[in-house]
Structure 1
Amino acid sequence: MTLTFAVSAGKGKEATPRRRGPGVRGTLTGWAFAGPATLVVVGLSLFPAVWAFFISRTKWNGIAEPENIGWRNYERLAQDPDLAAAAQHTLLLTALFVPSSIAAGMVIATALNQKIRLIGFYRTCIFVPYVASAASTGILAGYVFNPQFGGVNEVLRRVGLPPQQFLEDPAQAMIVVCVIALWGEVGFTSVVYLAALQDVPRELIEAATVDGASRWRIFRSVTLPQLRPVTLFASVWQTITALQLFDLIYTTTRGGPMNSTQTIVYYVYELAFQTRRLGYGAAVAYLLFAVTLLLTALVIWRSRRSGEEAF
């Protein structure tokens, strides 16, 4: 009896083969495909970042021999009035762009979540500006907001309103840049919120409807809490987008008029490629990197502590 049971158990073990891992050959095959791409990514991101740090501790114009000056470039950051002005412009752009993109994306996503005819066409139209390059968007916007022959001023003339200077007015330029950035970036937040809205449990909405809640009450008390992780993710993403905005400013105002749209990224460009102060420009770039990293880490830490993980 015992012998029969042992034989049966042995046969059962033989009938169930062990799952083997990929092995050395499989691992080498995987690295053969992923290795070249990994080297390219590391070479184009990690190596320039490390090299830029060493440049930030030198005085160098890109041609002559670099002079090692230690941390003096970083000590000058707190005494640079142009950097302080660029930081103020960057904060203003971020304060205008991030809440507007979040609110507009949520409203558009709610509208696109309805069951209407040609809904696929409408969704495509919203997302197309995000796919287009920011450089082409800036060039097109330069014609649209041109004070002399732009389309926006033509509409204002037809409705009896005075024409505006837009990108040539220091008081209006940053607001116009924010509007252009919204036109190009709102498709991203709309798609993210649309995907989140489709994941909201229908049972919660139906239960609230049965209880007699209005549509606004359902959205505020049921849908909106479900969108908090997505809102957190979109806020961090759009904040980084605003802090790193360069190509749109380059193709529209080039930091003008009167440096009213000169952000930190554009200031780094002017330092490195126009005045040839590569060392100081690298130090400013590392300051922006540190601020962005610290802000993102604080938001992620706060979200995980509150239980609303979005990353």
Structure 2
Amino acid sequence: MALTFAATPRAHRPDVTPRPAGRRGRALRRNLTGWGFAGPATLIVVGLSLFPAVWAFFISRTKWNGIAPATDVGWRNYERIAQDPDAAAAAQHTLVLTVLFVPASILLGILIAVALNQRIRLIGFYRTCIFVPYVASAAATGILAGFVFNPQFGAANETLRRLGLPAQQFLESPSQALLVVCLIALWGEVGFCAVVYLAALQDIPKELVEAAVVDGASRWRVFLHITLPELRPVTVFTAIWQTITAMQLFDLIYTTTRGGPMNSTQTVVYYIYELAFETQRLGYGAAVAYLLFAVTMLLTLAVVGYSRRSGSEAF
């Protein structure tokens, strides 16, 4: 006997899929909660950075001493920069400092990081000692360096005398002062590069190094063909960071030489300080500051673009 089953309608089941509107509402509440915490701090940061930058641009188009009413001069301040010998000298000093400081800090950072990446006793103590000068006050470092490199009673000349070498003028010599400032800057900043490279070294896959060693590669070949290529993105980052540091160096120069002797250590940032706060030429000082910002931005974009084309992206 054939059995037939009558089709019975399916019971209606409620739709349990969340509605898109509900998901959007929850996402909106999460975003509002996040901005509720981050919003006030963001407004403070924007207010203390963007507003002064925009205001400084308007000041750069005026002749103003900070007291009398400002006089609009258009782009005349920017045109004067090309004919200012003091600005050209300050740019030259900044360029020399940057060329000396950036490669030296990167090279020393790599070497120190490789040394600190070894398994030796008291390695934590050594790493702390390397990083302490970076976290110390730059003003305090400059004041201390002024005593160390004092031509009369400084520790540097005392060491030279004990070695039978002639005493030097250091910060009081126009030909030596900029080199000494670069040396002091390296003392304070190389710890940053060392820590960054140390973190990058510990991030290199150990399998690559072990495979190269098994294939018979020496330590030098491992360093050249594995370690250095893996450190390229970090090198791009440190090169940009140290370039900005060198071009904006002010505190060390202020506490050691004040731009002297004979303006031999007057960098662009210190020249801006003299224009704005010593001679009260706020408009012209703001124009030089904006030109420095433009040069720094172009250099940064050039390095980032080159790194991306070469496959060493760091940003």
The structural deviation recorded for 1:299 is 1.0
Alpha-carbon distance between aligned partners in 1 of 2:261 and 2:166, rounded to the nearest angstrom: 21
- 1:159 Cα deviation (Å)? 1.5
Give the alignment of 1:147-296 within 5 angstroms.
147-296=151-300
1:179-227 alpha-carbon deviations (Å, 9 max, x no partner): 1000100011001100111111111111111111111111011111111
Deviation digits for residues 48-107 of structure 1, max 9, x if unmatched?
000000000000000000000100001111100000000000000000000000000000
5 Å matches for 1:118-129?
A: 118-129=122-133
Q: Distance in 2 between matches of 1:15 and 1:28?
A: 25
Please name the residue that 2:23 is paired with: 20
Identity %: 75
Question: C-alpha separation between the residues in 2 aligned to 1:115 and 1:254?
Answer: 44
SS at match of 2:23: coil
Q: Distance in 2 between matches of 1:55 and 1:15?
A: 59
Aligned partner (choices 56, 65, 72) of residue 52 of structure 1 = 56
Shift of 1:134: 0.9
Q: Which position in structure 1 is the counterpart of 2:80?
A: 76
Matched, 1:109 2:105: no
Match of 2:96 in 1: 92
Q: Which runs of 5+ in 2 are unaligned?
A: none
**Structure 2 SS opposite 1:20:** helix
Cα distance in 2, alignment partners of residues 17 and 207 from structure 1: 53
Counterpart secondary structure, 2:126: helix
How far residue 115 of structure 1 moved from its aligned partner, in angstroms, is 0.6
- Distance across 2 between alignment mates of 1:300 and 1:232: 7
Distance 1:222 1:200 in 2: 9
The alignment's TM-score, normalised by the length of structure 2, stands at 0.93
Instruction: Tell me the distance in 2 between the aligned counterparts of 1:230 and 1:190.
Output: 11
Distance in 2 separating the partners of 1:165 and 1:17: 78
CA 1:183–1:25: 2 relative to 1, 3 Å? same
Distance 1:279 1:210, change over 3 A: same
User: In 1, Cα distance between the equivalents of 2:104 and 2:310?
Assistant: 25
Equivalent residue letter for 2:268: I
| Residues 1:5 and 1:186: Cα distance change in structure 2 (over 3 Å) | farther
- Which shifted more, 15-24 or 72-81? 15-24
Distance (whole Å) between structure 2 residues aligned to residue 5 and residue 109 of structure 1: 75
TM superposition score normalised by structure 1: 0.94
Q: Which amino acid aligns with 1:241?
A: T
| Counterpart AA for 2:157 | N
Tell me which stretches of 4 or more aligned residues in structure 1 moved more than 6 Å: 3-8, 15-19
2: CA distance, partners of 1:20 / 1:131: 46
Bigger Cα Rg: 2
One-letter code aligned to 2:178: M
Tell me whether 210-219 or 14-23 shows the greater mean CA deviation.
Answer: 14-23
CA RMSD of aligned residues (A): 2.1
- Bigger shift: 99-108 or 216-225? 216-225
Which amino acid in 2 is paired with 1:64? A
Letter in 2 for 1:152: A
Deviation at 1:161, TM superposition (A): 1.2
Deviations 1:24-54 (A, max 9, x none): 4443332222121111101110000000000
Letter of the aligned partner of 2:144 in structure 1?
Answer: L
- How far is 1:14 from its partner? 2.8
